[in-house]
Structure 1
Amino acid sequence: MTSESHKLLLDNLSTAVIQLNKSLQLVYLNPAAEMLFACGANRAIGQPLSVLFTEDNDTESAWRQAASAGHPFTKRETGVTLSNGEKKVVDYTVSPILTQDGYVLVVELQARDRLLRISREEELFAQQETLRTLVRGMAHEIKNPLGGIRGAAQLLERALPDDSLKDYTEVIISEADRLRNLVDRMLGPRKMPNIGALNIHEILEHVFALVRAETGGQIRLIRDYDPSLPDMTADREQLIQAVLNIVRNAMQSLQESQTQNACITFRTRAKRQFTLGAERHRLLCQVDIIDNGPGIPSELMETLFYPLVTGRASGTGLGLSIAQTILHQHHGLIECKSHPGKTVFRLLIPLEHKK
C-alpha cells in the first residue's frame, strides 16, 4: 500500500494515477483518476481494471506480463471505453514495482481527447486559410483571361457577316460567364459581415420553415433547442446561408438515398469555457444539424470542406466550403462526424463578437 506521505503527493497530482496488485485488481486511485474515469475509489478498490475502462485493442497479455515478469510498457493515443459507455483517448505508462508480495503496477494516465481536438481544430483553421489564399490566387488567374475571352467574343459577334454564326459566340460568352460565376461562388462571401444582434433560434426557425416548404413534409424535422442561449452578434444573412447549406446537403442526401423515416434534427446547446483552436471562449453556441441518412464516405471526411469536393452525383461541392468560410468570419468552426444512420454537422459560434 502507498505510504501516507506518498499518498498525499499522489492525491494532489493533476495526472491520473492508479495502482494494481499482481492479480490486476485496483488498490488505489487518486482523485484525478476518479474524475477521468467517473468512478469513485470506494466502488473501484478490489475490482478488476475493467471497472474503470476496457481498451479498444487487446492488451491483456501486456498487462499480465507486466504483473508477472515486471515488464513496463507505454501506450499512446489508445482508445478506451469507460464503464458508463463513454469513449476516451488516453496515453498511459505502466511501471511495475517489485515488493515482497510480487509486482504491483503503478499506472499514469493522461486524457488526450482535448489536445487531439485542439490540434484537429488548429489544422482545420490552417487548412481553411490556405484554401482561401489558393482560391483567391486561382480566381485572379482565371478571371483575367476570362474577361479577355468574353470581350473578344463580343467584338467577334459584331463583325460576323452571318447572324447564324452568332450562336457560337453566344456559347463562348455564356460559358465564360458561367465559369466566372463558379469562381465567385468558390470565393464565398466577399463582403465583411454585417454584424448585428440576433438569436440563433430565429436563424434556425427561418431555415426550418424554408426546408419544411421544400420537402413538403416528406422529411421529419425536429427541434431540440436550449432556450437559455443568449443573443449573439453576427451577420444574419450569412448565418442563414451557412445553416441552409448544411441542412440542404442533409435534405438532398436523404432524398437521393430514399432513407426510410428520414429525419433532420436542429439542436442547440451552450458550451462554457470552451477552447476552439488555440483560443479559449467564455461562452459558445453549439448548433447540431443531425440526419439519419447513409452517412459520408470515410475517404471524403478529410477533404469535406474543400471546394468542389462532394459525395453526391448532383452536388457542386461548394456549399460546405462556403459555410465553413462564413463560420471562420465569425471566429467559429464547423465539425462533422458521420457513420451510416447518423451524420452530425456541428457549428461552434462564439457568443461574444471579436473585431
Structure 2
Amino acid sequence: MSADPDALDGFDAFDAFDYLATMVGIGAADGRCLFVNSTLENLIGQSRRTLRRGSVFDWLVDSARLRETLASVVNGEVSCGRFDGVLKRPASLGPAADLPVHVIVSQMDHAERVLIELIEVEQQTRLDREERAHGLAQANKELVRNLAHEIKNPLGGIRGAAQLLAMDVQSKELTEYTQVIIHEADRLQALVDRLLAPHRRPHVVGDVNIHEICERVRSLVMAEYPRGLTVERDYDTSIPEFRGDREQLIQAVLNIAHNATQALAERIAAGDAEIVLRTRVARQVTFGRKRFRLALELHIQDNGPGVPEAIRDRIFHPLVSGRENGSGLGLTLAQTFVQQHQGTIECDSVPGRTVFKLLIPLP
C-alpha cells in the first residue's frame, strides 16, 4: 500500500476496505482512529465520523492488549501482533451484544500508522447457521403448504357431512355434537388459511416507508394496551424508501410486536413494560450468503422474560410456540414475508432483553 497519508481525508486509497466482510481500521501511533471500513462501522454501532473522533482503544472492552500490541508494531519490535478480545457494542443492545473477535495489528508503509483487523470468532458459525435456517425455512414452507392442501380437501367434506347430519337428526344432544364438528372444522379451516396465506396472497409492490409501517404497528399496539406499556421510537429518518409489499411488512412487524406484548403480560400488569422500535442503515452486510451494499435494520426490542431456551433455536419453525394457547404461526409468517423481500429475521434473547432484527436490502 503506497497511499499518501493525506489521502485519508478522502479515503480514496482505502475504498476497497469497504468491500471486505471483516472489520478493518487504521490507527495512529497514539491510538487516534484514522479510518474504519463499513463493516466495522456497522458492527460497532457508531458512524464513521464519530469513530474518527475517538481512539481505537475505545473499541475493545479491555484495551490493554491492543495498547501493548500497537506499541510493539509501531516501534518495530514485531511486524504483526495477534490476540483475542471483545468488541464493545451499543449499550442499548445489552451486555450480550459484545462481540468476541480475533484482533490482528499489522505494520503499514507509513511508520506512524497500523492496520487493525478484527475477525468475528463466530462469523463462520453464524453464516452456516443462517444458511441452515434459510434452507430449513424453505423446506418448512413446502411441507406446510403441502400439508395444508391435504387437510383442506377432506375438511370441507367433514363439515358438509356434519351440516347434513344436523338437518336430519332430531336429538338435541346429537345436534350439539354436529355443531362441535362444524365448529372444529371451521377452526381448522382458519388455521389452514393462515398456513396458505403467504403463498396465495398477491404481492402489492410499491414504495415502502419503514417508519410509516412502524407507526402503524405502534398505534395498533398502543390501542390494545393503553396502560402499562410504553412503545419507544428510535428512528434513523435518513433511511430511504424501498420497493415492497406494505401490508405484508406491517403484518410481519405486527406479529413480532404481538408476541412481545404477550411475553410482557406480567410487566404490563406491573406498569413497566417497554417495546423499542429502532431503525438503522447497515452498510456492506452479508446475510443469506449474499452481500448487500445497504440494508435496513429494524430492531423490535422488549424487556420481557426472553424466549424460552428450549425453543430458542426453533422459534421460526411452524407450530412452535412458547405459549400454551399459541398457534406457533406468527413468527413463521413474519419470516416468510421478510424472506419474500430478500431479507431475514434474527433473534437475540436473554432474560430482560429480547431483540428481533429484521434485515431487508435497500436500493
Deviations along 1:16-41, whole A, 9 cap, x unmatched? 9xxxxxxxxxxxxxxxxxx9999879
C-alpha distance in 1, partners of 2:309/2:171? 55
Identity level (%):
48
C-alpha distance in 2, partners of 1:231/1:83? 31
Match of 2:211 in 1: 201
Amino acid at match of 1:347: L
- Please tell me whether the aligned partners of residues 188 and 325 of structure 1 are also in contact (alpha carbons under 8 angstroms): no
* Deviation (angstroms), 1:80: 4.4
C-alpha distance in 1, partners of 2:159/2:203? 32
Deviations along 1:189-244, whole A, 9 cap, x unmatched? 22132111021000001111111111113111110000110001111111111101
SS in 2 for 1:300: helix
Match of 2:296 in 1: 285
C-alpha distance in 2, partners of 1:259/1:319? 26
SS in 2 for 1:287: strand
Match of 1:303 in 2: 314
Match of 1:3 in 2: none
How many aligned residue pairs are there? 283
Aligned CA distance change for structure 1 residues 50 and 162 (closer, same or farther; 3 Å) = same
Which aligned runs of 4 or more in structure 1 are off by greater than 6 angstroms? 35-41
Aligned CA distance change for structure 1 residues 79 and 222 (closer, same or farther; 3 Å) = farther
The yes-or-no answer on 1:255 pairing with 2:265 is yes
Match of 1:343 in 2: 354
C-alpha distance in 1, partners of 2:332/2:68? 41
Aligned CA distance change for structure 1 residues 321 and 157 (closer, same or farther; 3 Å) = same
Normalised by the length of structure 2, the TM-score is 0.68
- Listed as ranges, the matches of 1:2-81 within 5 Å are 49=65, 80-81=85-86
C-alpha distance in 2, partners of 1:213/1:122? 38
Deviations along 1:47-88, whole A, 9 cap, x unmatched? 9747589xxxxxxxxxxxxxxxxxxxxxxxx98425899422
Match of 1:294 in 2: 305
Aligned CA distance change for structure 1 residues 87 and 164 (closer, same or farther; 3 Å) = closer
* Deviation (angstroms), 1:135: 0.6
Moved more, 158-167 or 136-145: 158-167
C-alpha distance in 2, partners of 1:335/1:79? 26
Normalised by the length of structure 1, the TM-score is 0.69
Match of 1:265 in 2: 276
Match of 2:241 in 1: 231
Match of 1:174 in 2: 183
Q: Aligned Cα RMSD in Å?
A: 3.6
SS in 1 for 2:147: helix
- Listed as ranges, the matches of 1:315-334 within 5 Å are 315-334=326-345
SS in 2 for 1:81: strand
The yes-or-no answer on 1:87 pairing with 2:96 is no
Aligned CA distance change for structure 1 residues 162 and 83 (closer, same or farther; 3 Å) = closer
C-alpha distance in 1, partners of 2:64/2:209? 50
Aligned CA distance change for structure 1 residues 143 and 40 (closer, same or farther; 3 Å) = closer
Amino acid at match of 1:87: L
SS in 2 for 1:322: helix
Aligned CA distance change for structure 1 residues 137 and 261 (closer, same or farther; 3 Å) = same
